[in-house]
C-alpha cells in the first residue's frame, strides 16, 4: 500500500480565549491521496478552517500528527518546511484582505517565487516574468495586469489574482478556504469553473473548505462533513449525497435550496 | 469639510516651511544684531511688526524661529520614529516576552516627565537646541512604538500575511514588504501630531532657557523676552505666541486631516 499524500492522526487543536478554552478540532483522522479532490463542509465554527491551516503548516496542533508525502510536518521548524511551502498553496476567502493593497499584482503573484524556502525546492529556478505571464493567462487575466494594483480589479478578478499567486510556484496541492463565498453570486460560477479546469489541467490535489454544499459538490470527488471539531461522515461525494449516514448530514443536505432543472 | 481640515493644515504647515527656507537666504533685517536706538518700535514700516527690546526686527526673528522649530521638529520626530517604529514592529511581530519587555519599557519612558528629562539633559550637557531635540525625541518614542505595534498586529492578522507565510516568506520579508508599507500612513499621522507636540515642547523649553540659548531666536525665547516687557509693550508677546499657536494648529489639522483621508473605511465608500 502506498503512502497517502496527506495523513493526519488524532489531530486536536484547542484555543485559549481568556479563561474559556475552545476545542476547535477534536481528534481528527484524515487521509488524502494525490489527485483527490476533498471537500470539507460544515457550519461555521465546526473546525474546517482550523483543520486546513494545520494541514498547510500555518498553525501547530495541540496534539496529534500530520504527515505530508510520508514526512511528519508537525513539530518541524519553519526552515525545514520548504518542501511543504513549495508544494502546498492556499487561496483564501476574501481577496480584499488576502492581497496586500500596497503591492502591485506582479509582485503579489511572484511573491511565493521569491521565498528562499520555496526557491530551494525549485531546481533551476523559475523565471519570474515568464511565470507571471503564464499564470495570468491560466486564470484569464489581461497580460498587463502585473503593473496594476488590486483595487483596480473587481472581486472576481481579485480572486483570480489570488489563484494565480497560488499557482505560481507550481504546487501539487491547492487548499481553498471558502474560495467563492465572499464573491458576488454572478461571478461565483466563473471562479468555480476556473478552479475545476485548473485542477484538471495541472493534475492538482484539491482541498476545498466550504459551508456551501453546492460548491463542494461541483468541485470535489470526496467529502468530509465536520461538526463541532469532528469529522462526522466522509466518503465519495456521490455516495454521501445519495445516501447520507448521519442525521447531521441529512439535515445539511435538506437545508440546501433545491432548484431542479428538468431535462 | 474634512478636506478643508487637510487643506488648512497644509497651508499653515506650508507657510512655516516656506518662511523657514526663506530665512536661510534672506531676512528683512539682521536677526541678532542689537540696535540700541530702535528699541520697542511699534508695527509699521520698515519694521512690519516692530522691534523688540534690543531693537531687533521681530519679523526677522520670527522667520529664523520658524527654522529652529522645524529643525527641532524634524530631528526629534525623526529620532522618535526611527527608534520607535522598529521597536513597535518588533513587539507586535515577536509577541510573547519580547512584546512585554519592549512595551513596559515604553510605558516607563512615557511615564517619565519629558520636562524633567530636558532639565536633566540640560544640567549635564548645558541647555542647547541639541539637548532639547534629544529630550523631545526620546519622550516621543513610546507614542511611535505604540502606533507601530498596534498597526503591526492588525497587518499580521490579515490574510495576505497568512498567504505570504503559506509560501514560506520569511519574517523579515513580511516585515519589510507587508507590515512597514501598511504602517506608513499611521506613522505619517503620528509624525504630524508629534510635530505639533515638538513645537510646543521646544517653545516651552526655550521659554525656560533649557533649549536654544540667546541671541539665537526661537519663538520660545522671544516669549521669554516679551514677558519681561509685558506692561511696557504687550504686543511683543502676541507675535511669537501667535506663531506657535498657528504652527501647532497647522500640524494638528494636517494630522487629523491625513487620518481621515487615509482611513480605509472612509475610502472604501468613495
What is the predicted pLDDT for the residue at B235? 86
Interface test with B, best of A102, A113, A182 (most B CBs within 10 A): A102
Give residue limits of the domains in chain B: 2-269
Chain A's closest residue to B182, CA to CA, is A102
**Cβ separation of A114 and B173 shorter than 8 Å?**
yes
Nearest residue on chain B to A57, judged by CA atoms?
B166
How many domains does one find in chain A? 1
Q: Is residue A169 part of a domain?
A: yes
Q: What does the pLDDT read at residue A193?
A: 92
Task: Identify the pLDDT of residue B269.
Answer: 43
The pLDDT of B93-109, averaged and rounded, is 93
Neighbours of B256 (CB within 10 A): 17
Is omega for the bond preceding B46 within 30 degrees of 0, making it cis?
yes
Average pLDDT, chain A: 90
Tell me which residue range forms the domain holding A214.
6-255
In 3D, which of A198, A204, A88 has the Cα closest to residue A137? A198
Pairing, β A205-210 against β A37-41: parallel
Closest of B55, B49, B44 to residue B240, by C-alpha = B49
Does the pLDDT value for residue A174 go beyond 60?
yes
pLDDT per residue as tens digits for the range B12-29: 999 999 999 999 998 898
- Give residue A99's pLDDT: 95
Across the interface, of B167, B168, B178, the residue whose CB is closest to A100 is: B178
Contact (CB<8Å) A98/B170: no
Does position B268 have pLDDT exceeding 70, yes or no?
no
Q: Mean per-residue pLDDT for B211-237? A: 87
pLDDT in tens, A190-234: 999 999 999 999 999 999 999 888 888 889 999 999 999 999 998
CA distance B78 to chain A (A): 23
Residue B154 has pLDDT above 80, yes or no: yes
Provide the angle, in degrees to the nearest 10, between the axes of the packed helices B58-94 and B235-262: 30
Does some domain include residue A261? Answer: no
Superfamily name and number for B2-269: MetI-like (1.10.3720.10)
Which is more confident, A50 or B260? A50
Per-position DSSP letters for B207-252, written without gaps between them: HTTSSSPTTS--HHHHHHHHHHTTTT-THHHHHHHHHHHHHHHHHH
Q: Do residue B182 and residue A100 have CB atoms under 8 angstroms apart?
A: yes
Between CA B119 and CA B126, with CA B121 as vertex, the angle to 5 degrees is 90
pLDDT in tens, B172-197: 999 999 999 999 989 999 999 999 99
The minimum CA-CA distance between B179 and chain A, rounded to whole Å, is 10
Instruction: List phi, psi (to 5°) of A259.
Output: -125, 110
Q: pTM for the whole thing? A: 0.86
Contacting residues of B for A93, CB less than 8 Å apart: 159
- Give the CATH number of the domain where residue A235 resides: 3.40.50.300
Q: Which of A38-52, A86-100, A113-127, A169-183 has the lowest mean pLDDT?
A: A113-127
Answer yes or no: is pLDDT of B270 > 70. no
Most confident of A181-185, A237-241, B90-94: B90-94
| Contact A98/B at CB under 8 A | yes
pLDDT tens, position by position, A16-28:
877 888 899 999 9
Once rounded to an integer, what is the mean pLDDT over residues B116-132?
A: 89
Compute the distance between CA of residue A14 and CA of residue B61 in angstroms, rounded to an integer.
67
Contact A98 B167 (CB under 8 A): no
Q: Which residues of A touch B167 (CB under 8 A)?
A: 85, 89, 111-112, 115, 118, 165, 169
Which residue in chain B is spatially nearest to A87 when comparing CA positions?
B167
Contact B168 A89 (CB under 8 A): no
In a domain, A229, yes or no: yes
Residue A75 domain flag? yes
| Nearest one of B148, B155, B185, B147 to B171, comparing CA atoms | B155
A263 within domain boundaries: no
Q: How confident is the model at residue B264 (pLDDT cuts 50, 70, 90)?
A: low
If one compares B44 and B249, the residue with the highest pLDDT of the two is: B249
Inter-chain touch B158–A118, beta carbons under 8 Å: no
Amino acid at each position: 500500500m502506498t503512502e497517502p499524500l496527506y495523513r493526519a492522526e488524532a489531530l486536536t487543536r484547542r484555543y485559549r480565549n481568556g479563561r474559556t478554552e475552545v476545542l476547535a478540532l477534536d481528534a481528527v483522522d484524515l487521509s488524502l491521496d494525490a489527485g483527490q479532490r476533498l471537500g470539507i463542509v460544515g457550519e461555521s465554527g465546526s473546525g474546517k478552517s482550523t483543520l486546513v491551516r494545520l494541514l498547510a503548516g500555518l498553525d501547530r496542533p495541540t496534539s496529534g500528527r500530520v504527515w505530508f508525502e510520508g514526512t511528519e510536518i508537525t513539530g518541524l521548524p519553519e526552515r525545514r518546511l520548504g518542501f511543504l511551502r513549495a508544494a502546498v498553496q492556499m487561496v483564501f476567502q476574501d481577496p480584499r484582505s488576502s492581497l496586500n493593497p500596497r503591492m502591485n499584482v506582479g509582485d503579489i503573484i511572484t511573491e511565493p517565487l521569491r521565498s528562499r524556502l520555496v526557491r530551494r525546492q525549485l531546481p533551476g529556478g523559475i523565471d519570474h516574468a515568464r511565470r507571471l505571464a503564464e499564470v495570468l493567462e491560466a486564470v484569464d487575466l489581461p497580460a498587463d495586469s502585473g503593473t496594476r494594483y488590486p483595487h483596480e480589479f473587481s472581486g472576481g478578478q481579485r480572486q483570480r489574482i489570488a489563484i494565480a499567486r497560488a499557482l505560481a510556484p507550481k504546487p501539487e496541492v491547492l487548499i481553498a478556504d471558502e474560495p467563492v463565498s465572499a464573491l458576488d453570486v454572478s461571478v461565483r460560477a466563473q471562479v468555480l469553473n476556473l478552479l475545476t479546469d485548473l485542477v484538471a489541467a495541472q493534475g492538482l490535489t484539491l482541498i476545498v473548505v466550504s459551508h456551501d454544499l453546492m460548491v463542494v459538490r461541483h468541485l470535489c470527488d470526496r467529502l468530509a462533513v465536520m461538526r463541532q471539531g469532528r469529522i462526522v461522515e466522509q466518503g465519495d461525494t456521490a455516495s454521501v449525497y445519495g445516501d447520507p449516514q448521519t442525521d447531521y448530514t441529512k439535515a445539511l443536505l435538506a437545508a440546501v435550496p433545491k432548484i431542479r432543472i428538468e431535462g | 469639510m474634512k478636506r478643508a481640515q487637510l487643506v488648512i493644515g497644509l497651508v499653515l504647515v506650508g507657510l512655516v516651511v516656506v518662511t523657514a527656507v526663506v530665512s536661510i537666504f534672506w531676512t528683512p533685517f539682521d536677526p541678532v544684531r542689537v540696535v540700541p536706538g530702535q528699541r520697542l518700535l511699534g508695527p509699521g514700516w520698515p519694521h512690519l511688526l516692530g522691534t523688540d527690546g534690543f531693537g531687533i526686527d521681530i519679523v526677522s526673528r520670527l522667520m529664523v524661529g520658524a527654522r529652529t522649530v522645524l529643525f527641532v521638529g524634524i530631528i526629534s520626530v525623526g529620532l522618535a520614529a526611527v527608534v520607535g517604529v522598529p521597536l513597535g514592529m518588533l513587539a507586535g511581530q515577536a509577541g510573547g516576552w519580547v512584546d512585554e519587555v519592549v512595551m513596559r519599557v515604553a510605558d516607563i519612558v512615557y511615564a517619565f516627565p519629558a520636562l524633567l528629562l530636558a532639565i536633566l539633559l540640560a544640567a549635564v550637557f548645558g541647555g542647547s537646541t541639541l539637548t532639547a531635540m534629544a529630550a523631545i525625541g526620546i519622550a516621543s518614542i513610546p507614542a511611535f512604538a505604540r502606533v507601530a505595534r498596534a498597526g503591526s498586529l492588525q497587518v499580521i492578522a490579515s490574510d495576505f500575511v497568512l498567504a505570504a507565510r503559506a509560501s514560506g516568506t520569511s519574517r523579515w520579508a513580511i516585515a519589510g514588504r507587508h507590515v512597514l508599507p501598511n504602517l506608513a500612513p499611521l506613522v505619517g499621522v503620528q509624525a504630524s501630531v508629534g510635530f505639533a507636540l515638538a513645537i510646543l515642547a521646544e517653545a516651552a523649553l526655550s521659554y525656560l532657557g533649557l533649549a536654544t540659548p540667546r541671541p539665537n531666536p526661537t519663538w520660545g525665547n522671544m516669549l521669554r523676552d516679551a514677558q519681561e516687557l509685558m506692561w511696557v509693550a504687550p504686543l511683543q508677546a502676541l507675535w511669537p505666541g501667535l506663531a506657535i499657536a498657528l504652527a501647532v494648529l497647522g500640524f494638528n489639522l494636517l494630522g487629523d486631516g491625513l487620518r481621515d483621508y487615509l482611513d480605509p473605511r472612509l475610502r472604501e465608500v468613495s
